[in-house]
Structure 1
């Protein structure tokens, strides 16, 4: 049973990594880089991880670029 839980946890983390990578690629295609984009380490802890993608910090210019791209998508 413990092995099955470990496999499930690993799959959950892999899924979060893939989501992070998809977001990074989409942002890059839009000309935006979030240098701190990663998985939140605390959310990976424990037997049943619930990984979160941490968007991290960015410079004000990058935040404005992201806001501009989002506004264009919402129009």
Structure 2
């Protein structure tokens, strides 16, 4: 897997890519967004999720996104 230097990654594109990948496995993080408080760091806020969503996210990660 190719990794990018943190300065080379557009946080908006990364957030949208993550949103799309999660949607492919039926997961929505309603609070997913770029952290505007620290733009130089390029942080993405994932927000809070219900416990059942956390379990589904865990399962998707363990399966490598293949369900």
- Smaller-chain TM-score bracket: 0.7 to 0.9
**Structure 1 portions without partners, runs of 5+:** 1-11
* Residue ranges of structure 2 left out of the alignment (5+ in a row): 1-6
Deviation of 1:73 (Å): 1.5
Q: Superposition RMSD on alpha carbons, in Å? A: 1.9
TM-score of the superposed pair, with normalisation by structure 2:
0.76
**1:12-39: per-residue Cα shift (whole Å, max 9, x none)?**
7x81100000000000011000011011
Aligned length: 58
The aligned counterpart of 2:21 is: 26
